[in-house]
Structure 1
């Protein structure tokens, strides 16, 4: 049986995850529940089946709040609901994103605004909503998901990579501003994680082989690799780590640099 690290300080922590009902987000919800945390998450699709599955597995159900994260008022209201149910949020994981492919010359203002509203704006406004509660609670941890795609200078989704770069800059500035309040912010930049969506849309044998050739470690990433890193950044194990970008990519960025 495979066992994973236990981060004892995450037990009973109030955790909020965006996009926590599918893909990597679902794995994150599962991972935090496994640590004994109280988890709330938002998503656009119905997650009642997933909630029931998690309740059966862990003996505690996550709180699912339907929400379109591009609606800032709805997102911040959902964060308020979660804090009411579980106590002040002390761990925020900004995970939800959309990496829809597009050509730079085809992008219009409407598409640009739509993409950045998901991939950057929602991250900031979620941070803004949880910080007062974290200050009152004596501290907290925020993990903002970025991606190695911008570090590699990838083409084919300029609005997404621009947002990824913005996330790391935002993370560093907020870490500086709220460090005196014992609030830590770090960015997590995964490589190509083989979720069901990735397998369905882009993970053909040739692309997988080409990407694996770029990695120092010759295994494809799975959701658990990202969950483990997130739990570390959320816990007091990383108590003196803030304003950083942690790449979990099998060594792609090292090779690309």
Structure 2
């Protein structure tokens, strides 16, 4: 497991909003930004782990993270959540679109309703959360957006076609947002993680043989942990990446 040791002074006291920030990669990101002294608000639908995370970080962070319980399938709820975060912390200067649901599903059984539901979780909120924060970010003079995609859409994986389509769509959306918002001083990039060993992955899909096969394909011979995504995200959110936009950073241990 990696330990995030770099400090990005420009993130101190900055208003950060993270979707899906209550567990897995999102929880590592929430903790990572809080450790930089940022004013972190995070959105999640899972109430118990999110409140536990917020409570745990409240006593150790410069600013206690704000948990906002929200269903990202509800576009009006997204707008309300952004308004709540900005009422507490001021205009969002860093948005991290991390929330996702990578359920496996069979192409031949897939329905239109399932496709729409999947994209209402995995793709649509990325666009509409960016839309919701954009006016405040523009008025504040700029900011950064980091969208989490996945290497899964690059690997011809056949067990989640709606999910991989959504993750590919995030790359196109990232580039489109970068083109639209760049003149307003807003940078938009994406991170494509490899197979990250979250508790959900370990409970549902990780086997000893499957993990060994994945590590064998990586240049770096260890499992990827949620904390490994923190450094890349902090870098893209900070001024250290000042002239980087419309890009996809692959963080997969060198498999691709």
User: TM-score, normalised to structure 2's length?
Assistant: 0.96
- Equivalent runs, 1:175-254 vs 2, <5 Å: 175-253=178-256
Matches within 5 A, 1:15-30: 15-30=16-31
1:122, CA displacement in angstroms?
0.6
Aligned 1:1-257 pairs, distance under 5 A = 4-46=5-47, 47-253=50-256
Kindly provide the CA deviation profile for residues 81-116 of structure 1, in whole angstroms up to 9, marking residues without a partner as x.
101110000000000000000011111011000000
In structure 2, C-alpha distance between the alignment counterparts of 1:227 and 1:252, rounded to whole Å: 19
User: Counterpart of 1:6 in 2: which secondary structure?
Assistant: coil
Give, in angstroms, the shift of residue 200 of structure 1.
1.2
Deviation at 1:198, TM superposition (A): 1.1
* Residues 1:180 and 1:220: Cα distance change in structure 2 (over 3 Å): same
* Deviation of the 1:3 alpha carbon: 5.8
Question: Alpha-carbon deviations, 1:209-257, whole Å to 9, x = none?
Answer: 111111111111111210110000000000100000000001111xxxx
Render the CA deviation track for 1:5-36: whole Å, top value 9, x for unaligned. 00000000000000111111111110000000
For the Cα contact (< 8 Å) 2:98–2:148, is it kept in 1?
yes
2-structure distance, mates of 1:54, 1:237: 26
Q: Deviations over 1:140-192 (max 9, x none)?
A: 00000000000112110000000000000010011011111110000100001
Gaps of 5+ in 1: none
CA distance in 2: counterparts of 1:239 and 1:51, whole angstroms: 30
- State the aligned residue count: 253
Gapped regions of structure 2 (runs ≥ 5): none
Residue 146 of structure 2 aligns to a residue whose secondary structure is: strand
Matched residues in 2 for 1:98 and 1:183: separation?
Answer: 27
Does structure 1 conserve the Cα–Cα contact (< 8 Å) formed by 2:40 and 2:63? no
Partner SS state of residue 58, structure 1: coil
Distance change (3 Å), C-alpha of 1:100 and 1:3: closer
**TM-score, structure 1 normalization:** 0.96
- Distance in 2 of aligned mates of 1:194 and 1:241: 28
Q: CA deviation at 1:80?
A: 0.9
1:59 shift after superposition: 4.9
